[in-house]
Structure 1
């Protein structure tokens, strides 16, 4: 029983951990060099909450009618495929825009007439995310 009381408190403390370097930066004026550890701690807190809530019976996937097995394995794989299509395409779009946008800004600073040509490459990177979203809709609704 004590486990059900302490684990949510630990998870909340882990979720609040990224605020420590922010507060330290405000009070001392120094930037946080090791903030990644606090962000990983918050991620761990989220994972811990995702484990606690179903175990404690706070969240239930079953409806009140008792339809616990409503999703088949095929439905679950369909949702997993849609999530992977969207997520991985958005990661690819982020990489593409992350590489194209600084080059576009540099090109525009040297020659302002190159704005239209530079924007085309940035928009092409964003198109990857839209294609992934379209594929996930095709997976879900067919």
Structure 2
């Protein structure tokens, strides 16, 4: 079953890679070929995923019945959410600050140090989320 899921993920990567390649070459022939190739890949990918989900659901249900009944599930969820949401926030902050920093540096090269400080502060958001998740996991 794992091999089937790996095959479907590789098919998805092939879909996106080939679609990107054919989108960059802007000829009519490549666009027609891209559409046909995308249909073929989706016709392969979707049944593989559906088959994988159908065969994995009973395995997951039996694994859930045999799982220990501790109350740690919400703690793990909180730790994952704190890290994930902090990383998303850091990514948004770094994208905005980085774009502004590049624009500012292009006008005046002497402010490079100040812009690096701002980028470091934006990146610190992810570290705060990681520290909170470590503290949550320490209590479990």
The TM-score bracket by the shorter chain reads 0.5 to 0.7
- Segments of structure 1 that go 5 or more residues without pairing to the other structure are 32-37
1:24 equivalent to 2:22? Answer yes
In the TM superposition, structure 1's runs of 4+ consecutive aligned residues that sit over 4 Å from their partners are 10-15, 47-50
CA RMSD of aligned residues (A): 4.0
Number of aligned positions between the proteins: 121
Alpha-carbon contact 1:97-1:126 (below 8 Å) kept:
yes
Provide the secondary structure at the position in 1 that maps to 2:75.
helix
Give, in whole Å, the separation in 2 of the partners of 1:71 and 1:81. 18
Distance (whole Å) between structure 2 residues aligned to residue 114 and residue 49 of structure 1: 56
Q: Is the helix fraction higher in 1 or 2?
A: 2
The two structures have a TM-score, normalised by structure 2, of 0.65
Counterparts of 1:1-142 in structure 2, within 5 Å, are: 11=8, 13-14=11-12, 16-25=14-23, 29-30=25-26, 51-52=53-54, 54-55=56-57, 57=59, 61=63, 68-72=66-70, 74-142=71-139
Answer 1 or 2: higher relative contact order, Cα 8 Å, separation at least 6. Answer: 2
Q: How has the CA–CA distance of structure 1 residues 86 and 48 changed in structure 2, closer, same or farther, with 3 Å as cutoff?
A: farther
